[in-house]
Structure 1
Protein backbone atom coordinates (compact mmCIF):
# COMPACT_ATOMS: atom_id res chain seq x y z
CA UNK A 1 0.00 0.00 0.00
CA UNK A 2 2.81 2.41 0.85
CA UNK A 3 4.46 2.00 -2.57
CA UNK A 4 1.24 2.68 -4.48
CA UNK A 5 0.57 5.95 -2.62
CA UNK A 6 4.14 7.06 -3.33
CA UNK A 7 3.51 6.39 -7.04
CA UNK A 8 0.31 8.46 -6.91
CA UNK A 9 2.10 11.37 -5.23
CA UNK A 10 4.97 11.18 -7.69
CA UNK A 11 2.52 11.17 -10.63
CA UNK A 12 0.63 14.12 -9.19
CA UNK A 13 3.92 15.94 -8.64
CA UNK A 14 4.93 15.51 -12.26
CA UNK A 15 1.54 16.47 -13.71
CA UNK A 16 1.33 19.56 -11.52
CA UNK A 17 4.88 20.56 -12.36
CA UNK A 18 4.06 20.54 -16.09
CA UNK A 19 1.07 22.83 -15.50
CA UNK A 20 2.97 25.01 -13.02
CA UNK A 21 6.05 25.39 -15.22
CA UNK A 22 4.00 26.49 -18.21
CA UNK A 23 2.25 29.03 -16.01
CA UNK A 24 5.57 30.33 -14.63
CA UNK A 25 7.08 30.70 -18.09
CA UNK A 26 4.03 32.58 -19.40
CA UNK A 27 3.70 34.87 -16.35
CA UNK A 28 7.46 35.60 -16.28
CA UNK A 29 7.48 36.39 -20.00
CA UNK A 30 4.45 38.71 -19.71
CA UNK A 31 5.92 40.60 -16.73
CA UNK A 32 9.53 40.89 -17.95
CA UNK A 33 8.90 40.97 -21.68
CA UNK A 34 11.82 38.55 -22.08
CA UNK A 35 11.00 35.00 -23.27
CA UNK A 36 14.44 33.62 -22.36
CA UNK A 37 14.13 34.94 -18.82
CA UNK A 38 10.72 33.28 -18.53
CA UNK A 39 12.24 29.97 -19.66
CA UNK A 40 15.12 30.26 -17.18
CA UNK A 41 12.78 30.92 -14.27
CA UNK A 42 10.39 28.15 -15.32
CA UNK A 43 13.12 25.57 -15.81
CA UNK A 44 14.70 26.45 -12.45
CA UNK A 45 11.37 25.74 -10.80
CA UNK A 46 11.33 22.23 -12.22
CA UNK A 47 13.90 21.28 -9.61
CA UNK A 48 12.77 23.27 -6.58
CA UNK A 49 9.04 22.84 -7.01
CA UNK A 50 9.12 19.12 -7.77
CA UNK A 51 10.74 18.48 -4.39
CA UNK A 52 8.51 21.02 -2.61
CA UNK A 53 5.34 19.53 -4.12
CA UNK A 54 6.27 15.94 -3.24
CA UNK A 55 6.95 16.86 0.40
CA UNK A 56 3.68 18.82 0.52
CA UNK A 57 1.76 15.82 -0.87
CA UNK A 58 3.27 13.46 1.72
CA UNK A 59 2.30 15.81 4.55
CA UNK A 60 -1.25 16.32 3.27
CA UNK A 61 -1.73 12.58 2.75
CA UNK A 62 -1.76 12.29 6.55
CA UNK A 63 -4.30 15.11 7.06
CA UNK A 64 -7.99 14.26 6.75
CA UNK A 65 -10.96 16.51 6.11
CA UNK A 66 -14.57 15.45 5.81
CA UNK A 67 -15.21 17.98 3.06
CA UNK A 68 -12.97 17.33 0.04
CA UNK A 69 -13.62 20.75 -1.52
CA UNK A 70 -12.56 22.53 1.69
CA UNK A 71 -9.52 20.25 1.94
CA UNK A 72 -8.52 21.08 -1.64
CA UNK A 73 -8.91 24.80 -0.96
CA UNK A 74 -6.81 24.77 2.24
CA UNK A 75 -4.22 22.53 0.61
CA UNK A 76 -4.06 24.86 -2.41
CA UNK A 77 -3.48 27.91 -0.22
CA UNK A 78 -0.80 26.23 1.91
CA UNK A 79 1.13 25.04 -1.13
CA UNK A 80 0.80 28.40 -2.83
CA UNK A 81 2.34 30.19 0.15
CA UNK A 82 5.53 28.13 -0.05
CA UNK A 83 5.46 28.10 -3.84
CA UNK A 84 5.14 31.89 -4.04
CA UNK A 85 8.12 32.41 -1.77
CA UNK A 86 10.13 30.01 -3.95
CA UNK A 87 9.00 31.76 -7.16
CA UNK A 88 9.79 35.21 -5.79
CA UNK A 89 13.29 34.18 -4.72
CA UNK A 90 14.07 32.38 -7.99
CA UNK A 91 12.72 35.21 -10.15
CA UNK A 92 14.67 37.79 -8.15
CA UNK A 93 17.87 35.74 -8.29
CA UNK A 94 17.60 34.98 -12.03
CA UNK A 95 16.36 38.40 -13.19
CA UNK A 96 18.46 40.40 -10.75
CA UNK A 97 15.40 42.55 -10.14
CA UNK A 98 13.48 42.26 -6.87
CA UNK A 99 10.48 44.16 -8.28
CA UNK A 100 10.12 41.71 -11.19
CA UNK A 101 10.48 38.83 -8.74
CA UNK A 102 7.76 40.29 -6.54
CA UNK A 103 5.41 40.93 -9.49
CA UNK A 104 5.89 37.38 -10.78
CA UNK A 105 5.41 35.88 -7.31
CA UNK A 106 2.26 37.93 -6.60
CA UNK A 107 0.72 37.23 -10.02
CA UNK A 108 1.26 33.53 -9.52
CA UNK A 109 -0.58 33.63 -6.21
CA UNK A 110 -3.75 34.08 -8.25
CA UNK A 111 -3.00 31.97 -11.33
CA UNK A 112 -1.55 29.04 -9.42
CA UNK A 113 -4.29 28.82 -6.78
CA UNK A 114 -6.86 28.55 -9.55
CA UNK A 115 -4.82 26.02 -11.52
CA UNK A 116 -3.90 23.98 -8.43
CA UNK A 117 -7.53 23.76 -7.30
CA UNK A 118 -8.53 22.46 -10.73
CA UNK A 119 -5.61 20.00 -10.63
CA UNK A 120 -6.74 18.68 -7.22
CA UNK A 121 -10.34 18.29 -8.38
CA UNK A 122 -9.23 16.31 -11.44
CA UNK A 123 -6.95 14.05 -9.38
CA UNK A 124 -9.69 13.53 -6.78
CA UNK A 125 -11.76 11.83 -9.49
CA UNK A 126 -8.97 9.35 -10.30
CA UNK A 127 -8.38 6.45 -7.91
CA UNK A 128 -4.94 5.67 -9.32
CA UNK A 129 -2.52 4.94 -6.48
CA UNK A 130 -5.16 4.71 -3.78
CA UNK A 131 -5.61 1.53 -1.76
CA UNK A 132 -8.76 -0.39 -2.69
CA UNK A 133 -11.32 -0.69 0.09
CA UNK A 134 -12.48 -4.23 0.59
CA UNK A 135 -16.23 -4.51 0.39
CA UNK A 136 -18.10 -6.88 2.63
CA UNK A 137 -20.69 -9.16 1.16
CA UNK A 138 -23.98 -7.83 2.57
CA UNK A 139 -26.07 -10.62 1.03
CA UNK A 140 -25.02 -13.20 3.59
Structure 2
Protein backbone atom coordinates (compact mmCIF):
# COMPACT_ATOMS: atom_id res chain seq x y z
CA UNK A 1 0.00 0.00 0.00
CA UNK A 2 1.36 3.35 -1.04
CA UNK A 3 1.17 6.25 1.43
CA UNK A 4 0.73 9.78 0.15
CA UNK A 5 2.32 12.62 2.18
CA UNK A 6 0.01 14.81 4.14
CA UNK A 7 -0.97 18.05 2.35
CA UNK A 8 0.05 20.16 5.38
CA UNK A 9 3.57 18.80 5.27
CA UNK A 10 3.81 19.61 1.55
CA UNK A 11 2.74 23.19 2.19
CA UNK A 12 5.22 23.51 5.03
CA UNK A 13 8.04 22.24 2.84
CA UNK A 14 7.03 24.64 0.05
CA UNK A 15 7.02 27.62 2.41
CA UNK A 16 10.42 26.62 3.79
CA UNK A 17 11.86 26.36 0.27
CA UNK A 18 10.53 29.81 -0.68
CA UNK A 19 11.96 31.30 2.54
CA UNK A 20 15.38 29.83 1.80
CA UNK A 21 15.43 31.15 -1.77
CA UNK A 22 14.26 34.67 -0.87
CA UNK A 23 16.53 34.84 2.19
CA UNK A 24 19.59 34.00 0.11
CA UNK A 25 18.62 36.57 -2.54
CA UNK A 26 18.34 39.39 0.02
CA UNK A 27 21.22 38.35 2.24
CA UNK A 28 23.72 41.06 1.24
CA UNK A 29 23.96 43.93 -1.18
CA UNK A 30 27.04 44.18 -3.36
CA UNK A 31 29.59 46.85 -2.50
CA UNK A 32 29.28 50.01 -4.62
CA UNK A 33 31.79 50.43 -7.39
CA UNK A 34 34.13 53.45 -7.35
CA UNK A 35 31.90 55.41 -9.73
CA UNK A 36 28.86 54.92 -7.48
CA UNK A 37 30.89 55.85 -4.38
CA UNK A 38 32.13 59.04 -6.07
CA UNK A 39 28.58 59.93 -7.12
CA UNK A 40 27.29 59.38 -3.57
CA UNK A 41 30.09 61.56 -2.15
CA UNK A 42 29.28 64.26 -4.69
CA UNK A 43 25.58 64.19 -3.74
CA UNK A 44 26.46 64.37 -0.03
CA UNK A 45 28.75 67.37 -0.64
CA UNK A 46 26.00 69.12 -2.63
CA UNK A 47 23.44 68.43 0.12
CA UNK A 48 25.84 69.74 2.80
CA UNK A 49 26.50 72.90 0.76
CA UNK A 50 22.74 73.45 0.29
CA UNK A 51 22.12 72.95 4.02
CA UNK A 52 24.83 75.51 4.88
CA UNK A 53 23.35 77.97 2.37
CA UNK A 54 19.89 77.46 3.89
CA UNK A 55 21.25 78.12 7.38
CA UNK A 56 22.94 81.34 6.26
CA UNK A 57 19.74 82.45 4.51
CA UNK A 58 17.73 81.74 7.65
CA UNK A 59 20.13 83.73 9.83
CA UNK A 60 20.10 86.65 7.38
CA UNK A 61 16.28 86.62 7.33
CA UNK A 62 16.12 86.53 11.12
CA UNK A 63 18.52 89.50 11.34
CA UNK A 64 16.49 91.46 8.77
CA UNK A 65 13.24 90.83 10.66
CA UNK A 66 14.87 91.83 13.93
CA UNK A 67 16.28 95.02 12.41
CA UNK A 68 12.91 95.90 10.88
CA UNK A 69 11.14 95.35 14.22
CA UNK A 70 13.71 97.46 16.09
CA UNK A 71 13.30 100.30 13.58
CA UNK A 72 9.53 100.20 13.97
CA UNK A 73 9.82 100.00 17.76
CA UNK A 74 11.94 103.16 17.77
CA UNK A 75 9.29 105.00 15.69
CA UNK A 76 6.41 103.73 17.87
CA UNK A 77 8.20 104.41 21.15
CA UNK A 78 8.21 100.78 22.26
CA UNK A 79 10.83 99.79 24.83
CA UNK A 80 13.66 97.70 23.38
CA UNK A 81 16.73 96.00 24.75
CA UNK A 82 20.10 95.63 23.10
CA UNK A 83 20.39 92.51 20.95
CA UNK A 84 22.32 89.64 22.44
CA UNK A 85 25.68 89.34 20.69
CA UNK A 86 26.40 85.95 19.16
CA UNK A 87 30.04 85.06 18.45
CA UNK A 88 29.45 82.50 15.71
CA UNK A 89 25.83 82.38 14.51
CA UNK A 90 26.38 79.66 11.90
CA UNK A 91 28.11 77.41 14.42
CA UNK A 92 25.34 77.97 16.94
CA UNK A 93 22.72 76.81 14.45
CA UNK A 94 24.66 73.81 13.18
CA UNK A 95 26.34 72.63 16.39
CA UNK A 96 24.55 69.74 18.09
CA UNK A 97 23.58 70.20 21.71
CA UNK A 98 25.40 68.10 24.24
CA UNK A 99 24.86 67.35 27.90
CA UNK A 100 27.44 70.01 28.82
CA UNK A 101 25.57 72.77 26.94
CA UNK A 102 22.06 71.97 28.18
CA UNK A 103 20.55 73.42 31.32
CA UNK A 104 20.81 71.40 34.51
CA UNK A 105 17.88 69.12 35.27
CA UNK A 106 15.62 70.47 37.99
CA UNK A 107 13.76 68.00 40.17
CA UNK A 108 10.03 68.05 39.49
CA UNK A 109 7.92 68.75 42.53
CA UNK A 110 4.50 67.14 42.51
CA UNK A 111 1.68 66.91 45.02
CA UNK A 112 0.54 63.64 43.45
CA UNK A 113 3.97 62.04 43.79
CA UNK A 114 4.32 63.38 47.32
CA UNK A 115 7.40 65.50 46.54
CA UNK A 116 5.62 68.80 47.17
CA UNK A 117 3.44 70.23 49.94
CA UNK A 118 -0.34 70.22 49.32
CA UNK A 119 -1.86 73.34 47.79
CA UNK A 120 -3.55 75.91 49.99
CA UNK A 121 -6.87 75.53 48.19
CA UNK A 122 -7.47 71.80 48.73
CA UNK A 123 -10.53 70.56 50.62
CA UNK A 124 -9.89 69.93 54.30
CA UNK A 125 -12.79 67.47 54.53
CA UNK A 126 -15.25 65.74 52.26
CA UNK A 127 -18.32 67.71 51.17
CA UNK A 128 -21.32 66.79 53.30
CA UNK A 129 -24.57 65.63 51.73
CA UNK A 130 -27.64 67.81 52.29
CA UNK A 131 -31.29 66.84 52.06
CA UNK A 132 -33.03 67.50 48.76
CA UNK A 133 -34.69 70.93 48.62
CA UNK A 134 -32.32 72.57 51.11
CA UNK A 135 -31.34 76.07 49.93
CA UNK A 136 -27.65 76.54 49.18
CA UNK A 137 -25.52 78.27 51.79
CA UNK A 138 -22.58 80.59 51.24
CA UNK A 139 -19.45 79.95 53.24
CA UNK A 140 -18.34 83.12 54.97
CA UNK A 141 -14.65 83.41 55.72
Output the TM-score relative to the length of structure 1. 0.27
Give the TM-score, by structure 2 length: 0.27
Q: Whose RCO is larger (CA < 8 A, sep 6+)? A: 1
Rg larger for? 2
